[in-house]
Amino acid sequence: MSAPFRFSAEPLDLAALQRDLRDDSCGGFAAFEGWVRNHNEGHAVTRLEYEAFAELADKEGTRIVQAAIEKFGVTRAACVHRIGSLGIGDIAVWVGVSAVHRDEAFRACRFIIDEVKHRVPIWKKEHYVNGDSGWVNCERCAAPPAHDHEHAHHHEGGDRPQSAVWGRSPSPVPDYSRQVALREVGPAGQARLRAASVLVVGAGGLGVPVLQYLAGAGVGRLGIVDGDRLEPSNLHRQTWYALADCGREKAALAAGRVRALNPEVRVEAHALRLDAGNAEHLVQGFDLVLDCSDNFSTKFLLNDVALRTGKPVLFASVYQYEGQLQLVAGDASSPCLRCVWPEATRDGLIGNCAEAGVLGPVPGVFGSLQALEALKHLLGLPGLAANEMLIFDLVTLSTQRLRARRAPDCVAHARAAGPAVAAAEPEGLEARFGSLADAAAAGFTLIDVRDSQERIAEPMPGSLHLPMSKLLMQAPELDLEGRYLLVCATGRRSGAAADLLRSQGFRACRSLRGGLKALKSIA
């Protein structure tokens, strides 16, 4: 059987699709066809192009079809979405469901098309009779489902061009068209930004421009850590805030500004100072960390967390008219702050803004550079390498890119390597757990390798479904370092699957010993 959700660059073969879902136990079959029509919101449309962010779309689409199978108890279901260029009357999306009775077939079919429309990151470029064209699908479609209620969807009765949404809606919606127009961004890049998360440590002179630009760009989730309250002396460089806000916590103020600028961004404010006790926990769950702090203890703490967790941290430091940027990749071979500055481990060696003085635009320039490098990093564009430092003197306007070297005697690297090497040894192939909940609590993502029929007979909530037949065909799109627990009925297939995945580089995947049968014998 073919994948439950897939894209097709070719016109659909309806007979083959239907044949694939035929089952002798089924008395009902329901299908939905979405056609390309010749108009949209008063525009005459001549043809369409569909583009998908395949990495995310495949996963989300598969999740939707599987959820429909479980939710409605149907026998088989599939959804195929066209990509590429389509003419008027072409089938753009097809959903088919076969079930024992017609009612669940209808309902599952409706569920799948509605969810696909709202959740799968697919964009549509309409070409109009007058020669114009535009990407019209709503960027918010790819927002996670939990986020859906926070914004209105403008999809009932067909997708409308952004301009029409603007004219009709009582409040404007974020519009990323000026950056999506860049070839390096495009709809796929925008989806990448929306799927990304960035932790910003410090909401001051560097953090303000960083947060403004990341929120404006539509980075999906921002964390803000700052333990300070706003003071009048901050405002000459932290010009996002108001004089009347003085005395209030900066983390909360900045989060409020982010929400006002872009309500689509999920923002978390942490009104506390980063310390050894909370740093690792705060950094977890973010793709990238930006150090916008003004003190060495925070910078070196983040440096050490980067090495321990492997999470990249982009540092910016400003001193009077000069500043520098450095990306610490967090791996064993790239240099870190302590490789470059082995002595500068205490505050007070170089003054911060309070002691040394600074002109407002100086942190503004470096914060802007940091935001730019962060966006480039998230978009996969070339930028500051992990083995260099950018030094920018804003008096002479001279820039230097210096080679940063991995110091063989770096204490931070040595410390991170110590216990981490032992932990990085691959664990045994099989793992024992008392229940699937225990495995999830231990940080494993469950993968059901049984076939669809077994899965229907005995659902495994919260698991991904990657049947053995599919794993044998191609390597799955999973995180190489991810902790996956493969599960089947007896542990035999999952053991073979785990062995296979490890040979493909999925080092941390394991198999549930004894499978579901062993869990039942415990219960």
Smallest gap from Cβ 406 to Zn ion, in A, equals 7
d(CA 61, CA 21): 17
Label the pairing between strands 313-319 and 221-225: unpaired
Q: For Zn ion, which is the closer residue by CB, 27 or 419?
A: 419
SS (H, E, C) 52-68: ECHHHHHHHHHHHHHHH
* C-alpha span between 384 and 368 (Å, rounded): 14
Rounded to a whole number of angstroms, the minimum distance from the CB of residue 302 to Zn ion is: 13
* Nearest to Zn ion of 192, 413 (CB atom): 413
206, 370 contact by CB (below 8 A): yes
Phi and psi angles of residue 292, each rounded to the nearest 5 degrees, phi first: -120, 30
Site for Zn ion in 159-218 (CB under 5 A): none
When the beta carbons of 311 and 338 are compared against Zn ion, the nearer one is 338
Q: Shortest distance, CB of residue 279 to Zn ion, whole angstroms? A: 17
CB of 284 to Zn ion, least distance (A): 21
Give the residue with the Cβ less far from Zn ion, 191 or 306.
Answer: 306
By CB under 5 A, residue 63 contacts Zn ion = no
Q: Which is nearer to Zn ion, 386 or 394 (CB)?
A: 386
Binding mask 326-355 for Zn ion (x = CB under 5 A): ----------x-xx----------------
Nearest to Zn ion of 176, 300 (CB atom): 300
Residues facing residue 487 across a β-bridge: 448
Interaction of residue 301 with Zn ion, rule CB under 5 A: no
CB of 417 to Zn ion, least distance (A): 10
Identified binder of Zn ion from the candidate list 92, 253, 412, 446, rule CB under 5 A? 412
Residue 79's beta-bridge partner residues?
A: 5, 95
Q: Please identify, among the stretches 265-273, 286-294, 413-421, 424-432, the one whose residues bind Zn ion according to the rule CB under 5 A.
A: 413-421
Question: In the bound complex, which residue of the shown chain has the CB atom lying closest to Zn ion?
Answer: 410
Give 54 or 386: the residue with its C-beta nearer to Zn ion: 386
Number of residues that bind Zn ion (CB under 5 A): 6
* CB of residue 339 to Zn ion, shortest distance in Å: 3
Give the residue from 12, 39, 11 showing the smallest Cα distance to 158: 39
- If we measure between CA atoms, which residue out of 296, 371, 380 comes closest to residue 338? 296
**DSSP secondary structure string, 246-265?**
TTSBHHHHHHHHHHHH-TTS
**108 or 412, CB closer to Zn ion?**
412
Q: Do 161 and 134 form a contact (C-beta atoms < 8 A)?
A: yes
For residue 164, the minimal CB distance to Zn ion (Å) is 54
Alpha-carbon gap, residue 200 to 211, rounded angstroms: 8
- Residue closer to Zn ion by CB (options 222, 336) is 336
Phi, then psi, of 496 in degrees rounded to 5 = -65, -40
Site string for Zn ion, 90-129 (x = CB under 5 A): ----------------------------------------
**Which burial class, exposed, middle or buried, applies to 490 when counting CB atoms under 10 A from its CB (0-12, 13-18, 19+)?**
middle
Measured CA to CA, the distance from residue 308 to residue 304 in angstroms comes to 6
Q: How many CA atoms lie within 13 A of 201 on its CB side?
A: 30
Q: For the window 391-410, what string marks contact with Zn ion as x by the rule CB under 5 A?
A: -------------------x
Q: Residue 374: what residue type? A: A
How near is the Cβ of 310 to Zn ion at its closest, in Å?
14
**Cβ closer to Zn ion: 210 or 328?**
328
CB of 300 to Zn ion, least distance (A): 11
Token pair 């952004």 is at which residue? 162
Instruction: Find the binding residues for Zn ion in span 217-236 (CB under 5 A).
Output: none
CB of 200 to Zn ion, least distance (A): 23
Residue 278 CB, shortest distance to Zn ion, in Å, is 23
Q: In whole angstroms, how close is the CB of 330 to Zn ion at the nearest point?
A: 10
Phi-psi region of 218 (alpha: psi -120 to 50; beta: other; left: phi over 0): left
Question: Residue 94, Cβ neighbours under 10 Å: how many?
Answer: 20
List of residues 6+ apart from 136 with CB closer than 8 A: 40, 124, 125, 126, 159, 160, 161, 162
Residue 200: both structure tokens together? 């910003």
Complex with Zn ion: residue 142 or 339, whichever CB lies closer: 339
For the record, the structure tokens of 238 come out as 């932290």
| Interatomic CA distance for residues 438 and 444, integer angstroms | 9
413 contributes a contact to Zn ion by CB under 5 A: yes
Between 239 and 345, CB nearer to Zn ion: 345
Q: Which residues bind Zn ion (CB under 5 A)?
A: 336, 338-339, 410, 412-413
